[in-house]
């Protein structure tokens, strides 16, 4: 059973609907202890990085404990950013630290400088796959997915796919059973559903 974390950062309805479409058995845990029953965890989210403060230390400990047991974890949009060490959007708010690096505002000096790009980055854009990992099984090169964000994660050796918007940023990341996507798979048609199915395959 997949635990879908609700920390009041965006509407869960579209994510739940997409997961129902692919036959996933989903529940929304009311407390960290409920995660003991989860075979996998999804952290969605839209908005400011500071919203992740709602996931206090008890939630963090429970999520990291499940990851330590080998249960898959998947972050969507803000949920993916939370997998990193932190974000310039809320410098005093730490992330989970499962991936190294900090998220940065699109169009800043950490990308190819471009002050003329539109931020937030909203709409369809293409994926450039750099590593063939399980999360992108069956996803075609240059597949189009739907984004809405102002901050992004840096490229690293764990980057699976990048997207260009004022420079390259990590669109998909994966290491073992932990993965994340900067875009919204629940709004990305068949490509997004395929990626969600791939996460279910990780869960087993």
| Structure-token match 């992740």, residue found | 52
The pLDDT score that the predictor gives to residue 110 is 53
The three-state secondary structure class of 49 is helix
Average pLDDT value for residue range 191-204 = 98
CATH of domain 2-203: 3.40.50.880
Residues labelled catalytic: 77, 184, 186
Question: Which strands, in side-by-side order, build the sheet including 2-4?
Answer: 26-27, 2-4, 40-43, 73-76, 178-181, 168-175, 159-164, 128-129
Residue 114 clears pLDDT 70, i.e. is over it: no
Question: Domain coordinates of the chain in residue numbers?
Answer: 2-203
Cis, peptide link before residue 120, omega less than 30° from 0: yes
Quote the pTM value. Answer: 0.96
pLDDT in tens, 22-75: 999 999 999 999 999 999 999 998 989 999 999 999 999 999 999 999 999 999
Q: Sign of torsion, CA 6 8 13 14? A: negative
Residue 181 clears pLDDT 70, i.e. is over it: yes
Q: Note whether 85 and 63 are within 8 A (CB).
A: no
The three-state secondary structure class of 112 is coil
């Amino acid at each position: 059973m997949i635990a879908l974390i609700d920390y009041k950062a965006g509407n869960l309805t579209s994510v739940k609907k997409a997961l129902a479409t692919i036959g996933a058995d989903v529940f929304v845990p009311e407390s960290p202890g409920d995660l003991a029953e989860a075979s996998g965890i999804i952290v969605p989210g839209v908005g400011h990085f500071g919203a992740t403060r709602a996931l206090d230390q008890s939630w963090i400990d429970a999520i990291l404990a499940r990851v330590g047991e080998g249960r898959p974890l998947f972050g969507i949009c803000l949920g993916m950013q939370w997998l990193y060490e932190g974000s310039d959007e809320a410098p005093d708010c730490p992330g989970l630290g499962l991936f190294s690096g900090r998220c940065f505002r699109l169009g800043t000096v950490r990308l190819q400088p471009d002050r003329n790009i539109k931020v937030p980055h909203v709409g369809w854009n293409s994926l450039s796959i750099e590593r063939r990992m399980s999360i992108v099984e069956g996803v075609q090169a240059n597949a189009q997915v739907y984004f809405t964000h102002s901050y992004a994660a840096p490229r690293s050796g764990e980057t699976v796919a990048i997207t260009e918007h004022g420079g390259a940023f990590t669109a998909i990341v994966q290491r073992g059973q932990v993965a994340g996507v900067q875009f919204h798979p629940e709004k990305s048609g068949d490509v997004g559903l395929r990626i969600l199915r791939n996460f279910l395959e990780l869960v087993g």
